[in-house]
Amino acid sequence: MFSPRIVGEQPRLKTQTELETMRHAGKIHARTIARLREAIAPGVTSAQLDCIAEETILDAGAKPSFKGYQGYPATICSQVNEVVVHGIPSEDEVLEEGDIFGADLGVMWEGYHADGAFTVGVGEIGGEAQRLIEVTRESLQLAIEQVEPGNTIRDVATAVQGHAEGAGFSVVRALIGHGIGSEIHEPPQVPNFVDDADRACYEVELQAGMTLAIEPMVNAGGADVCQDADGWKVRTRDGSLSAHFEHTVAVTDDGHWILTAP
């Protein structure tokens, strides 16, 4: 979510109490996602979905993490078809049969955040769109399977890239995942790819108590993106479809804990 302003690469390890607080935020997040999934249909506007998300979060006694962050005006980021991230919900944005729709949102509970995203088809969608969604979701699951003490961020990134590119899709490089906790963006950076750049984050070793927002963003076409004049919405440069999935995941002594799981 957004452009992580992360200083350094040393994550702060969370206590069990902090993890329990983040898990509570994650439960509210999962409940919000479930309500959005129920509401998504042709004819629904992204502004209506934004209202549903905000109402669900506030009714639970939590706060939307994104609203007001770096000036962002909404609770969810609306991602329709070629929009990769950060689309602002609008009454003019009406979902149509055959679209794919993604929502990215954060929840803050007692000072701690949970962040996650999903993509679904609106009504009946084409086979390639469905395959893009499935491969992106699988990429996230494979990345999460790499989350255990002793593995590195490189292992997480390699899992996403290998699966997505192996399926003939491309991984966005201009946007990455991140650590999360009392700040929506914390160290370390969590790319979805491994390149030749000298990125210290690749060699960060996972330790119990680390919390990561892992979020593959996968395009049906090329990896390049561009930003709209509003300074928020990011699209695929070639107009191809894009899918986005994300979970907040904690490293535990014996593996991992998906804090935003239902």
Q: What is the rounded radius of gyration, in angstroms, for the C-alpha atoms of the chain? A: 17
Q: What pTM did the predictor assign?
A: 0.96
Task: Determine the Cα angle at 48 with ends 44 and 53, to 5°.
Answer: 125
3-state secondary structure of 36: helix
Residue 198 in this model has a pLDDT that exceeds 60: yes
Where along the chain do its domains lie? Answer: 16-258
CATH classification number, 16-258, choose in 3.40.710.10, 3.10.20.30, 3.90.230.10, 3.40.920.10: 3.90.230.10
Return the pLDDT at 1.
47
Helix 16-39 × helix 46-59 angle, to 10°: 140
Return the pLDDT at 5.
54
203 neighbors 153 (Cβ within 8 angstroms)? yes
How many CA atoms lie within 13 Å of 68's alpha carbon, on the beta-carbon side? 6
8-66 per-position pLDDT tens digit = 558 999 999 999 999 999 999 999 999 999 999 999 999 999 999 999 999 999 999 99
DSSP string across 46-80? HHHHHHHHHHHHHHTT-EESSTTGGG--SSEEEEE
How many CA atoms lie within 13 Å of 18's alpha carbon, on the beta-carbon side? 18
Percent of the chain, pLDDT > 70?
97
**What does the chain come to in residues?**
262
Could you give the dihedral angle defined by the CA atoms of residues 175, 73, 247 and 10, in that order, rounded to the nearest 10 degrees? 60
91-112 per-position pLDDT tens digit = 999 999 999 999 999 999 999 9
3-state secondary structure of 160: helix
Mean pLDDT (the chain, rounded): 96
74 neighbors 57 (Cβ within 8 angstroms)? no
